[in-house]
Structure 1
Amino acid sequence: MIKGKILIIDDDPGIRDACFHVLTRSGYEVEMAAEAYEGLQILEQYDFDIVLLDLKMPGVNGLEILEKIKETDPLTEVIIITAYGSIETVVEAMRKGASDFLQKPFNPDELKISVEKAFRRRKLALENIYLKNTLAEKEGKNIIVGISQTIKQIINMARLVAQTDSTVLITGESGTGKGLLARKIHEMSPRASGPFVAVDCGTLVPTLFESELFGHVKGAFTGATEHKIGKFELANGGTIFFDEIGNISIEIQAKLLKAVEDKEISPVGGHRVSKVDVRIVAATNKDLEEEIKKGGFRQDLFYRLNVVSIHIPPLRERREDIPVLARYFLKKFAKKYRKKILDFEEEVLKTLSQYAWPGNVRELENTIERLVIFANDALITLSDLHLAGFKPKKESFFPDDLPLEEIEKRYILHIFQKYGGNKTKTAQILRIDRKTLREKLRRWGLA
């Protein structure tokens, strides 16, 4: 997995090559420029996290290049390389926005330490800006928090599909935020002013499910003492969301299919047929295609629901989102409990990021709430973690009770991420062809 992108601007080929080899072996993607204006042209076309800049190059004042880099992107970290600079020059470079400097000759460890510190500063600055923007949104508005490429793609897909009336099927493990995404799709749609009605398919009593969906007339069954409006009718003009739709019985699936196809409903015990104008979004933590093979889910209903499919990966597969989510929940609960807690110690974030989070975002949110309740200082420390009862077991890559298909999925994704999403290299390591790999990634919503 690529840690970040670095540009080296230096006229000395020995320095360029040495830095390139050290940094690429450390997991960074590195570009090189032999002179300043070539470097500026590259910066105009691509974004970089860090620039290594030589202050002394033929016919160029390195401080001017530094100013242009910071004008283009103030968050780009610039590390000055110099064999000639006096203390005054270095001070001036730092004043103009450089974050560090390396005096030639420097060793590989000095280079790696300086780059790692710069990369952490850059990442923290981006996270803070993201949080400021999201927290500035209206109170109560649904916010999807994350900086991973996966989350960005999911938000973009949601934004595009929200402008249509297409049925959406959201898949993912429990606690990943499927319900939150469903609400976000509704909020971004032309139906935003209409109702959003959620149906929890996992908690409703099967015998009353039909009544919940379509309503009933007085006297339709024992206990029906008055007329009741169903969820479909309540959602008219808006969105109806079926959470964990894989839990409903085959019998109810048949009636739901008709409502989905015809957008017509009839209350239990009644003969009146009503047209409803609803957008349907469904979510499940089950593999519905496997359920179809077992006879537990109707294939025709699946095709009706799976017009647009969005998969939310578990938190363990997008660990870069963990610090951002943790800080988001910290601000949320610090405000709720009126505590002046500003941040986490770095070791705390490291510990949180290394945990597998089987309960996903929901488990992380509950953990941060407990931490805020027990913490008393401005920074949350490792001792606060223990006080709040957070004692993560060492993560097992392949737990004993893991199905074979999940073991295969985890191993393939491990290799895929290790080689930075390079499909050709991943297929070579796994000894399968690219088409097979592509099909597996597509099935897991990662193509």
Structure 2
Amino acid sequence: MTSKKGKILVVDDDADVLQAARLFLKQHVKSIETEKDPNSIPTLLKNNRYDLILLDMNFTEDVSSGKEGFFWLQEILKIDPSIAVILITAYGDIDKAVQAVKAGATDFVLKPWKNEKLLTTVMSAMQLTDSKREVAELKETQKQINSDIDHHYRDIIGRSPAMINVFNTIEKVAATDANVLILGENGTGKEVIARALHRRSARHENVFMNVDMGAITESLFESELFGYVKGAFTDAKEDKAGRFELANGGTLFLDEIGNLPLPLQSKLLTVLQNRKVNRVGSAKSKEIDIRLVCATNQSLKEMVADSTFRQDLLFRINTIEIQLPPLRDRIEDIEALTDHFIKLYSKKYKKEVSGCSKETIKKLEKHSWPGNVRELQHSVERAVIMSESAILKPGDFLLTPEAGDSEQVVFDDYNLEEVEKMVLRKALKKHEGNISKAAEELGLTRASLYRRMDKYGL
């Protein structure tokens, strides 16, 4: 037996109508309340969460015009826009029904009603309330998620001339709806810039939808981006909106756009040109209103020359291009970035690390940073975790090797324990087992080095 759901309020000045509604609907819903005086509606809504209100259109003060019912309809929707309202009247006609729906009513029934018709209308209306509230909750959740993520990305650190140019472009472009293509090596912060564009745009109150194009397989491309309807394929158990629909009103960020295969590029181009999507299995088009931002670490112009990327798609997505410099070309930003990450991870891991020594900064500035800002971030995180000092020393940073540097250690992976074990072994070998010299180079005390050697069985 299906459990009863839903809480309904019936407002009508006719006691017989209230009794009839209560006797019938209590068999089908979890809770039903009745009220003769419409002036009680604000108080009832303040103290209760209803899924549906059945509202009389004509009270005794206004027998047939329906104006009082329309008035209370508007008051209800002001208090709770998600709630479904069905207007009931003995003087109904088509014109009044149309007016009611235009004014925000979910539906319109005549009294005396047929129970079967009333039940169908009530159940459909309560489902609509559930859907509205679910969408509102999802939007609020997404808004909070975006806010949390944006907090991490909020401060774009940089004072170098290359970054000043990036900042100036963001300020000029953000307020427009121009499509933006962000170019840069892996780890340069392309998503950071995309979020900055969104946050400074007129769409900042709406969703920022991030899609990694490299992670979507060809077979799932259309269903993920455009959505699908129930029955479109074997696993399509219900309708599902795609990323374009979910981003409606906000910003859609297509990361690694260069990884999109040619056959799928034409499908993406069609959607961008028409500003409409068709869910898989549906012939009905849905209009979309998005701001498009794309990013790639590849040269799309070279890909166009090699016929691996469509030129018309490139023209569509790169109204404005933003080129992010690699970290090796903005050395003057390394100290500020390092300080930022130290504060971030000291707080996260509850460590008393306050900064770096001058020698450490010099070491970091000499490194080529093939992984760019992301590599620096991970290096600082590891250093903060492992350091036993308030000031990070050169030995706290285990950097990937420079080309031709035989003294550097090559890592097969970046598991922190494996990296540390390998570096300890390298330092001990270099100093022929001299604990004092090895500890000094590693920026450790002799006791700390002994503890680590014991931990790793060295």
Cα displacement (A) at 1:393: 2.7
2:154 to 142, 147, 159: 142
For 1:395 and 1:267, how far apart are their aligned partners in 2? 54
Is the contact made by 2:174 and 2:198 (CA closer than 8 Å) also made in structure 1? Answer: yes
User: Residue 232 of structure 1 aligns to which amino acid in structure 2?
Assistant: F
For 1:232 and 1:226, how far apart are their aligned partners in 2? 18
Is the contact made by 2:327 and 2:369 (CA closer than 8 Å) also made in structure 1? Answer: yes
Is the contact made by 2:368 and 2:402 (CA closer than 8 Å) also made in structure 1? Answer: no
Does 2:163 correspond to 1:151? yes
User: Residue 189 of structure 1 aligns to which amino acid in structure 2?
Assistant: S
What is the CA RMSD across the aligned residues, in angstroms? Answer: 1.5
| Structure 1 residues 317 and 219, CA gap change in structure 2 (3 angstroms) | same
For 2:198 and 2:334, how far apart are their aligned partners in 1? 26
Secondary structure of the structure 1 residue equivalent to 2:214: coil
Cα displacement (A) at 1:139: 4.3
| Structure 1 residue aligned with 2:55 | none
Provide structure 1 residue ranges, at least 5 long, that are not aligned to the other structure: 1-137, 397-447
Cα displacement (A) at 1:223: 1.8
Secondary structure of the structure 1 residue equivalent to 2:211: strand
| Structure 2 residue aligned with 1:271 | 283
Cα displacement (A) at 1:390: 2.9
TM-score by length of 2: 0.54
Does 2:373 correspond to 1:361? yes
Which digits, 9 at most, give the CA deviation of each residue in 1:29-63, with x for residues without a partner?
xxxxxxxxxxxxxxxxxxxxxxxxxxxxxxxxxxx
User: Residue 369 of structure 1 aligns to which amino acid in structure 2?
Assistant: E
2:244 to 214, 220, 232: 232
| Structure 1 residues 354 and 378, CA gap change in structure 2 (3 angstroms) | same
| Structure 1 residues 139 and 255, CA gap change in structure 2 (3 angstroms) | closer
Secondary structure of the structure 1 residue equivalent to 2:240: coil
2:350 to 328, 331, 338: 338
Cα displacement (A) at 1:254: 0.6
Cα displacement (A) at 1:222: 2.6
Does 2:335 correspond to 1:316? no
Does 2:402 correspond to 1:393? yes
| Structure 2 residue aligned with 1:59 | none
User: Residue 265 of structure 1 aligns to which amino acid in structure 2?
Assistant: V
For 2:298 and 2:152, how far apart are their aligned partners in 1? 29
Cα displacement (A) at 1:244: 0.5
Is the contact made by 1:186 and 1:239 (CA closer than 8 Å) also made in structure 2? Answer: yes
Is the contact made by 2:160 and 2:330 (CA closer than 8 Å) also made in structure 1? Answer: yes
Is the contact made by 1:167 and 1:279 (CA closer than 8 Å) also made in structure 2? Answer: yes
| Structure 2 residue aligned with 1:175 | 187
TM-score by length of 1: 0.56
Cα displacement (A) at 1:392: 3.5
Alignment of 1:116-265 (within 5 A): 139-140=151-152, 142-265=154-277
| Structure 1 residues 391 and 248, CA gap change in structure 2 (3 angstroms) | closer
Is the contact made by 1:355 and 1:395 (CA closer than 8 Å) also made in structure 2? Answer: no
Cα displacement (A) at 1:141: 5.3
User: Residue 313 of structure 2 aligns to which amino acid in structure 1?
Assistant: L
Is the contact made by 2:228 and 2:280 (CA closer than 8 Å) also made in structure 1? Answer: yes
Query: Could you tell which deviates more after superposition, 235-244 or 142-151?
Result: 142-151
Cα displacement (A) at 1:251: 1.4
Secondary structure of the structure 2 residue equivalent to 1:260: helix
Cα displacement (A) at 1:261: 1.4
Identity across aligned pairs (percent)? 44
Cα displacement (A) at 1:366: 0.4
Is the contact made by 1:230 and 1:267 (CA closer than 8 Å) also made in structure 2? Answer: yes
Provide structure 2 residue ranges, at least 5 long, that are not aligned to the other structure: 1-149, 406-458
| Structure 1 residue aligned with 2:426 | none
Alignment of 1:34-49 (within 5 A): none
Secondary structure of the structure 2 residue equivalent to 1:297: coil
- How many residues are paired up? 256
Secondary structure of the structure 1 residue equivalent to 2:176: coil
Secondary structure of the structure 1 residue equivalent to 2:369: coil
1:284 to 288, 296, 305: 296
User: Residue 242 of structure 2 aligns to which amino acid in structure 1?
Assistant: G
Is the contact made by 1:356 and 1:395 (CA closer than 8 Å) also made in structure 2? Answer: no
User: Residue 199 of structure 2 aligns to which amino acid in structure 1?
Assistant: E
| Structure 1 residue aligned with 2:456 | none
Which digits, 9 at most, give the CA deviation of each residue in 1:317-341, with x for residues without a partner?
1111111111110111011111111
Alignment of 1:289-300 (within 5 A): 289-300=301-312
Is the contact made by 2:231 and 2:237 (CA closer than 8 Å) also made in structure 1? Answer: yes
For 1:262 and 1:169, how far apart are their aligned partners in 2? 20
Which digits, 9 at most, give the CA deviation of each residue in 1:71-108, with x for residues without a partner?
xxxxxxxxxxxxxxxxxxxxxxxxxxxxxxxxxxxxxx
Secondary structure of the structure 2 residue equivalent to 1:242: strand
| Structure 1 residues 313 and 139, CA gap change in structure 2 (3 angstroms) | closer
User: Residue 240 of structure 1 aligns to which amino acid in structure 2?
Assistant: L
Cα displacement (A) at 1:140: 4.1
Cα displacement (A) at 1:205: 1.3
Cα displacement (A) at 1:353: 0.7
Is the contact made by 2:276 and 2:286 (CA closer than 8 Å) also made in structure 1? Answer: yes
For 2:396 and 2:260, how far apart are their aligned partners in 1? 42
| Structure 2 residue aligned with 1:370 | 382
Secondary structure of the structure 1 residue equivalent to 2:165: helix
Larger radius of gyration: 2
- Kindly indicate whether structure 1 or structure 2 has the higher relative contact order, using CA contacts under 8 Å at least 6 residues apart: 1
Which digits, 9 at most, give the CA deviation of each residue in 1:318-376, with x for residues without a partner?
11111111111011101111111111011111011111111111111000000000012
| Structure 1 residues 238 and 353, CA gap change in structure 2 (3 angstroms) | same
Is the contact made by 1:202 and 1:244 (CA closer than 8 Å) also made in structure 2? Answer: yes
